[in-house]
């Protein structure tokens, strides 16, 4: 059952230690008397904080920024805000009490666009998506996940016996479709005959929907599947267990101990990205507009699970990574998020 929307202030399993949210009489971002130098930070996500994936890693990055600077305080978390009205109300509650508000998820771009103009003194850090128009108090932070997907697609193509591979994601948002387009380009580099399927469950954590989507792919001959999901990945694991020779690939982090079929992962170090973004936002150094972290930033890499990956596949992954980094291979349409019309920084 989905948890009712609330601003929560207690120790969580991540672990994250939170102070009280403060009273409604406090100015945004200002702590109680005697602590006026404290910069309060709020965090909102559409998924559970302990989802084992995107949200948990992001929140760990925020906590790392707080741990590194005694002036920062993570005061409030809103998680499980899956509906648009919950997201708007949650952001408003956080913005009233915090100097920096992290909106952690591509689906939050519309809510941020609605709420940010009402709180000009609060700096919103939107993760994994851009706004349609520049907002002076919003920094949208993304990573070029499609570059990792190119490497994953090439490896999966090489591993595939059927030359049919697939990608399963939650909502069909640009940060997820980039995984598909990147896989498709990487697969074609490895073998022009490889076919790439895509499916969207509209939920990062629904195990049943993920299993159903994976079983449908496998029935159509797909034998390598990338999971752009959080706890919903379990459904793909279950489907892969039912069909010998099906390989699975994760995103964000290695989860090698979760299933024997996992080959590797397109690592996205969201924790470091969030730590950097929050630290800069709190110091007033995170520019408004769009910021993308790429290969050169060290935020991305493809890694194999121990004992997985042939020598040929490891050499292939290294070569494609190098070719992307030095410009020998140019990402195709859809691999990178569209550059917004306003200020953009590539790191």
Stretch 235-257: mean pLDDT, rounded?
95
β-sheet with 195-200: strand ranges across: 195-200, 164-169, 224-228, 247-252, 262-268, 300-304
For the chain, domains (ranges, CATH) are: 145-267+301-335 (3.40.50.2300)
Segment 115-160, tens digit of pLDDT: 999 999 999 999 999 999 999 999 999 999 999 999 999 999 999 9
> Over 90: is that where the pLDDT of 53 sits?
no
Q: What is the predicted pLDDT for the residue at 174?
A: 86
What is the pLDDT of the chain when averaged over all its residues?
Answer: 89
Segment 71-123, tens digit of pLDDT: 999 999 999 999 999 999 999 999 999 999 999 999 999 999 999 999 999 99
Spatial CB neighbours of 300, under 8 Å, sequence gap ≥ 6: 143, 144, 145, 147, 148, 266, 267, 268, 269, 293, 294
Q: What is the predicted pLDDT for the residue at 286?
A: 98
The confidence band for 36, taking pLDDT boundaries of 50, 70 and 90, is low
Q: What is the predicted pLDDT for the residue at 6?
A: 39
The confidence band for 234, taking pLDDT boundaries of 50, 70 and 90, is very high
> Over 50: is that where the pLDDT of 47 sits?
yes
Percent of the chain exceeding pLDDT 70 equals: 90
The confidence band for 10, taking pLDDT boundaries of 50, 70 and 90, is very low
β-sheet with 123-127: strand ranges across: 72-78, 39-44, 100-104, 123-127, 138-143, 289-293, 344-346
> Over 50: is that where the pLDDT of 26 sits?
no
Q: What is the predicted pLDDT for the residue at 28?
A: 45
């Amino acid at each position: 059952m989905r948890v009712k929307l609330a601003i929560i202030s207690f120790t969580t399993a991540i672990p994250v230690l939170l102070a009280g949210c403060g009273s409604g009489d406090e100015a945004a971002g200002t702590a109680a008397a005697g602590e006026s130098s404290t910069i309060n930070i709020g965090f909102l996500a559409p998924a559970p904080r302990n989802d084992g994936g995107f949200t948990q890693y992001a929140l760990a990055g925020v906590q790392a920024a707080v741990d590194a600077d005694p002036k920062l305080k993570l005061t409030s978390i809103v998680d499980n805000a899956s509906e648009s009205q919950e997201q708007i109300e949650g952001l408003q509650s956080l913005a009233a009490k915090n100097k920096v508000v992290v909106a952690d998820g591509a689906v939050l771009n519309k809510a941020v666009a609605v709420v940010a103009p009402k709180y000009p003194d609060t700096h919103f850090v939107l993760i994994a998506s851009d706004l349609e128009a520049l907002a002076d108090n919003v920094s949208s932070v993304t990573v070029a996940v499609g570059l990792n997907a190119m490497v994953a697609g090439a490896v999966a193509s090489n591993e595939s016996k059927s030359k049919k591979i697939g990608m399963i994601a939650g909502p069909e948002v640009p940060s997820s479709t980039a995984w598909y387009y990147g896989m498709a380009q990487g697969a074609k580099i490895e073998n022009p005959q490889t076919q790439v399927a895509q499916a969207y469950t509209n939920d990062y954590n629904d195990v049943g929907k993920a299993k159903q989507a994976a079983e449908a792919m496998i029935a159509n001959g797909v034998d390598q599947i990338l999971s752009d999901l959080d706890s919903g990945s379990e459904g793909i694991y279950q489907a892969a267990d039912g069909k010998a020779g099906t390989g699975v690939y994760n995103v964000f982090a290695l989860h090698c101990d979760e299933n024997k079929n996992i080959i590797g992962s397109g690592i996205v170090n969201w924790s470091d990205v969030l730590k950097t973004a929050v630290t800069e936002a709190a110091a007033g150094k995170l520019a408004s507009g769009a910021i993308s972290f790429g290969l050169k930033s060290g935020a991305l890499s493809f890694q194999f699970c121990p004992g997985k990956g042939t020598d040929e596949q490891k050499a292939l992954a290294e070569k494609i990574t190098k070719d992307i980094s030095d410009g020998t291979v140019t990402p195709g349409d859809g691999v990178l998020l569209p550059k917004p019309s306003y200020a953009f920084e590539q790191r």
